[in-house]
Structure 1
Amino acid sequence: MSEIVPLLQTPILQVLDLAAAAVFAVTGALVASRKQMDILGFLWLGVVTGVGGGTLRDLLLGVPVFWVSDPRPVAVCLVMAALIHFGAHLVGSRYRMVLYLDAFGMALVTIAGTSKGLDAGAGPLVAVVMGVITAAVGGIIRDLLGQEPSILLRREIYVSASAAGAVLFIGAMAVDLPTEVAMGVGLAAACLIRILAIRFDWALPVFRPRPERPPH
């Protein structure tokens, strides 16, 4: 197994950040439509959902925040949120669409966050954590502001799907697969696991209280 080195693929990371911001902005705007917000509410929820996870990732890594140095992700979020404001009524089951778009967005930002961690010189474990943080924070902000059940409190697999995608991506990089192929493997795995968890109600075992031991 070869040593994992930073990707140094800035264009790829920019594309991933843009795509992830767009998808998460749509999920934020769909939540705004469910809450019957005005257009400013759509724009606000779209932007903070779209760039929230990547913002925390970059702050933790000590690198320039991606949308501050390049405002295109914010512009994309604003456009997508505005489009949803005028077209959300055409979507039949908005909650279901939020779930499935969120699965794709989660997979995108997982790979973007993991890649950014490697590029910043972090080790594989920290890079995986960066991927998971990037994936979870945007959805947490969206659910908190939209007063929806938090993604972390739902039974279906979410964070573990993100972690699995990040680990597979790094593993594929470690065995010298091309960067694009490794990204595709991790992205597909994270997205597929999450979608199957939604479809079949998969969940990890939960903690169940047990009687305390009697004193000796």
Structure 2
Amino acid sequence: METYFTNLIDFIGTFAFAISGIRLASGKQIDWFGAYIIGLVTAIGGGTVRDLLLGIRPFWMLDGRYFLTTGIALIAMLLLKERLVKWWNMLFLFDAIGLGLVTIVGISKSMDAQLPFWVCIVMGTITGSVGGLLRDVLLNEVPLLLRKDIYALACIGGGLVYFLCRYVPLSTSMTELIAASVVISLRILAFRYHLHLPVLNSIQSQSKDTDSKE
């Protein structure tokens, strides 16, 4: 049952991330195949990097349903494009849901590899955020991961809650659900209330201002 639940959130997260990637590609004059590739990279990019770091065969080489899920996401966008573009908040929600779900999948797979908890949190963060990083690079955007938005930090927060729940203890399914909800909630709350880390100002510009005052 627990394995089934993990697989379920994996594919829901894949669909959500694929939708978010295809949505961003829609404003870049990219054809359908290009949009599919962007959606696929967004959905599987983080998990691929995670598996390579873990020294195992990337998950999508063993299961073609990730390609099918991305195809379904593309069809959904083509059929509901006008509605989804109007529902921008809904598309943001897809990205937040994808972030939360695949982060937990990354932690779960790292747990199976019997890695220390801090490595599992790092792997979960990589799984959740690197796909979006690759998407933004391909679309020539400043990666969301490197901007002031609370993104990777939401993954880390969810990872910490995951291991706190294990000490309670709760069932694996309940732990995964709570931790994923924390990631999603942190992402949404940060966006809703404009919460972010301080921006690193240009050291060069500050130096020029100091020189001019002198």
TM superposition score category, shorter chain reference: 0.7 to 0.9
Q: CA deviation at 1:126?
A: 0.5
Q: CA RMSD in A?
A: 2.0
Residue pairs, 1:27-176, within 5 angstroms? 27-93=20-86, 96-176=89-169
For residues 16 and 22 of structure 1, what CA distance do their matches in structure 2 show?
Answer: 10
TM normalised by structure 2 equals 0.87
Classify 1:179/1:120 alpha carbon distance in 2 versus 1 (closer, same or farther; 3 Å).
same
For residues 131 and 200 of structure 1, what CA distance do their matches in structure 2 show?
Answer: 25
The percent identity for this pair of structures is: 35
Residue 180 (1) aligns with residue 178 (2): no
Gaps of at least 5 residues in structure 2 are: 208-214
Letter in 1 for 2:75: A
For residues 94 and 67 of structure 1, what CA distance do their matches in structure 2 show?
Answer: 30
Report what 2:211 is aligned to: none
Q: CA deviation at 1:207?
A: 4.0
Classify 1:33/1:97 alpha carbon distance in 2 versus 1 (closer, same or farther; 3 Å).
farther
> Higher helix proportion, which one?
2
For residues 130 and 181 of structure 1, what CA distance do their matches in structure 2 show?
Answer: 20
1:112-141 deviation per Cα after TM superposition (whole angstroms, max 9, x unaligned): 111111011111010000000001111111
TM normalised by structure 1 equals 0.86
- C-alpha contact (below 8 Å) 1:30/1:94 kept by paired residues: no
Where 1:113 maps in the other structure, the secondary structure is: helix
Where 1:34 maps in the other structure, the secondary structure is: coil
